[in-house]
Structure 1
Amino acid sequence: MAVNKSNMKGRVTVYSVLGCPHSTQAKDTLRNLGLPVCIVDINKHRDLQTQVKGLTGHSSVPQIFFNNVYVGNNEDLQNLDHDQLEHLMLLVREEPVPPDAPPVPHENSPDPEDELGKASDISEAMRKLILKLYSHHLSKDGKTVDYKAMCQSPYYERYCELAVQLQRVELLSLSHEEKLAFFINIYNALVIHGNLRLGFPKTFWQRYRFFNYVSYLIGGEVFTLQDIENGVLRGNRKGVAQLLKPFSKNDPRLQVALSDVEPLIHFALNCGAKGCPPIKTYTPQNIVNQLHVAAEAFLENDDGCIIDDVRREVKLSQIFKWYKADFGGTDEKLLNWVFDHMEPSQKKWSLKALLTAGNVKVSYLPYDWSINSTD
Structure 2
Amino acid sequence: MENQHLSETKAASSQEVEKLQEDASAIQIEDQEKEAKAQNIGHGDTEFDNKLDDISDVIKDVKDGRTKSDTDAEINDNVIGDSGLAQAKTETEVEHVGQEYSGDKVEAGRDFEHKSEEKNLDDNSGQDDLAKEENVGRGTESTDMDQKADEIPNEDSNLDPVFDGTEIPGMEANRSTSIRKLDGDQGSPGVVEKAVALKNLVKEKSAVAVSTMLRRLSGKSDEAAVDSFDDEGKDISDISEVNEAKLVSEKPAEKSAWNPLNYIKKSSDADAVNKTGQKDSITDGPPPPIALKGRIILYTKLGCQESKIFRLFLRTKRLRYVEINIDVYPGRKMELEKISGSTSVPKLFFNEICIGGLSELKNLDESGKLDEKIDFLITEAPLFETPSPPFSGEDDISSTGAVDELALIARKMKESITVKDRLYKMRRFTNCFLGSDALDFLSEDQYLERPEAVEFARKLASKLFFRHVLDENLFEDGNHVYRFLDDDPIVVSQCHNIPRGIATVNPKPIAEIASRLRFLASAMFEAYAFEDGRRVDYTSLHGSEEFARYLRIVEELQRVEIWDMSREEKLAFFINLYNMMAIHAISILGHPEGTLERRKLFGEFKYVIGGSTYSLSAIQNGILRGNQRPPYNLKKPFGAKDKRSKMALPYPEPLIHFALVCGTRSGPALRCYSPGKIDEELLDAARNFLRSGGLEIDLTAKVAHASKILKWYSIDFGKSEVEVIRHVSNYLDPADSEILLDLLASSELKVVYQPYDWGLNC
Normalising by structure 1, report the TM-score. 0.72
Q: Which amino acid aligns with 1:144?
A: R
The equivalent residue for 1:106 is none
Q: 1:133 aligns with which of 498, 521, 524?
A: 524
Structure 1 residue 324 corresponds to structure 2 residue 603: no
CA shift in 2, pair 1:276/1:306, >3 Å: same
CA shift in 2, pair 1:371/1:289, >3 Å: same
Q: 1:307 aligns with which of 697, 702, 707?
A: 697
Structure 1 residue 362 corresponds to structure 2 residue 751: yes
- Contact kept, 8 Å, 1:313 with 1:362, in 2: the verdict is yes
CA distance in 1, matches of 2:334, 2:358: 15
The equivalent residue for 2:726 is 336
CA distance in 2, matches of 1:21, 1:216: 33
The structure whose RCO (Cα within 8 Å, separation 6+) is larger is: 1
| Offset, 1:115 | 7.0
CA distance in 2, matches of 1:145, 1:282: 18
- Contact kept, 8 Å, 1:177 with 1:284, in 2: the verdict is yes
CA shift in 2, pair 1:78/1:349, >3 Å: farther
| Offset, 1:209 | 2.1
The DSSP-based 3-state class of the residue aligned with 2:674 is: coil
Cα deviation code 1:149-197 (max 9, x no counterpart): 1121011111111111112432112111010000000000000000001
| Offset, 1:73 | 9.2
CA shift in 2, pair 1:234/1:147, >3 Å: same
Equivalence map 1:47-62=2 (5 Å): none
Q: 1:215 aligns with which of 606, 628, 635?
A: 606
CA shift in 2, pair 1:22/1:239, >3 Å: farther
Cα deviation code 1:113-140 (max 9, x no counterpart): 9876943311111111122222221114
CA distance in 2, matches of 1:333, 1:369: 27
Q: 2:670 aligns with which of 279, 295, 299?
A: 279
The equivalent residue for 2:502 is none
Q: Which amino acid aligns with 1:291?
A: L
CA shift in 2, pair 1:21/1:179, >3 Å: farther
CA shift in 2, pair 1:23/1:163, >3 Å: farther
The DSSP-based 3-state class of the residue aligned with 1:314 is: strand
CA distance in 1, matches of 2:675, 2:358: 33
Q: 2:569 aligns with which of 150, 175, 178?
A: 178
- Contact kept, 8 Å, 2:695 with 2:704, in 1: the verdict is yes
CA distance in 1, matches of 2:346, 2:738: 36
CA distance in 1, matches of 2:643, 2:675: 24
Structure 2: runs of 5+ lacking an equivalent: 1-299, 311-323, 348-355, 364-394, 402-507
Specify the structure having the higher radius of gyration (Cα).
2
CA distance in 2, matches of 1:216, 1:173: 19
The DSSP-based 3-state class of the residue aligned with 1:34 is: helix
The DSSP-based 3-state class of the residue aligned with 2:523 is: helix
- Contact kept, 8 Å, 2:659 with 2:682, in 1: the verdict is yes
- Contact kept, 8 Å, 1:270 with 1:277, in 2: the verdict is yes
CA distance in 2, matches of 1:289, 1:250: 35
Structure 1 residue 34 corresponds to structure 2 residue 335: yes
| Offset, 1:34 | 2.2
- Contact kept, 8 Å, 1:214 with 1:224, in 2: the verdict is yes
The equivalent residue for 2:360 is 81
Cα deviation code 1:176-229 (max 9, x no counterpart): 101000000000000000000111111122112210001111111110001000
- Contact kept, 8 Å, 2:307 with 2:346, in 1: the verdict is no
The DSSP-based 3-state class of the residue aligned with 2:705 is: strand
The equivalent residue for 2:596 is 205
CA distance in 2, matches of 1:24, 1:220: 40
- Contact kept, 8 Å, 1:123 with 1:166, in 2: the verdict is no
Q: 1:236 aligns with which of 616, 627, 634?
A: 627
CA distance in 2, matches of 1:82, 1:322: 48
Normalising by structure 2, report the TM-score. 0.36
| Offset, 1:298 | 0.9
CA shift in 2, pair 1:271/1:23, >3 Å: same
- Contact kept, 8 Å, 2:396 with 2:549, in 1: the verdict is no
Q: 1:149 aligns with which of 520, 524, 540?
A: 540
CA distance in 2, matches of 1:21, 1:255: 40
CA shift in 2, pair 1:82/1:244, >3 Å: closer
Q: Which amino acid aligns with 2:621?
A: N
What is the percentage of aligned positions where both structures have the same residue? 35
CA distance in 1, matches of 2:617, 2:335: 43
Q: Which amino acid aligns with 1:28?
A: N
Q: Which amino acid aligns with 2:553?
A: L
Q: 2:549 aligns with which of 155, 158, 179?
A: 158
CA distance in 1, matches of 2:345, 2:547: 30
- Contact kept, 8 Å, 1:167 with 1:220, in 2: the verdict is yes
CA shift in 2, pair 1:343/1:173, >3 Å: farther
Structure 1 residue 189 corresponds to structure 2 residue 580: yes
CA distance in 1, matches of 2:556, 2:326: 28
CA distance in 1, matches of 2:673, 2:577: 10
CA shift in 2, pair 1:72/1:208, >3 Å: closer
CA shift in 2, pair 1:253/1:294, >3 Å: same
Structure 1: runs of 5+ lacking an equivalent: 1-13, 38-65, 85-112
CA shift in 2, pair 1:164/1:340, >3 Å: same
Q: 1:262 aligns with which of 636, 640, 653?
A: 653
Cα deviation code 1:307-341 (max 9, x no counterpart): 01122111100000100111112011011101122
The equivalent residue for 1:352 is 741
CA shift in 2, pair 1:253/1:312, >3 Å: same
The DSSP-based 3-state class of the residue aligned with 1:165 is: helix
Cα deviation code 1:222-265 (max 9, x no counterpart): 10001000000000011134321000011010000001100000
Number of equivalenced pairs? 300
CA shift in 2, pair 1:72/1:206, >3 Å: closer
The DSSP-based 3-state class of the residue aligned with 2:761 is: coil
| Offset, 1:23 | 9.6
| Offset, 1:32 | 6.5
The DSSP-based 3-state class of the residue aligned with 1:173 is: coil
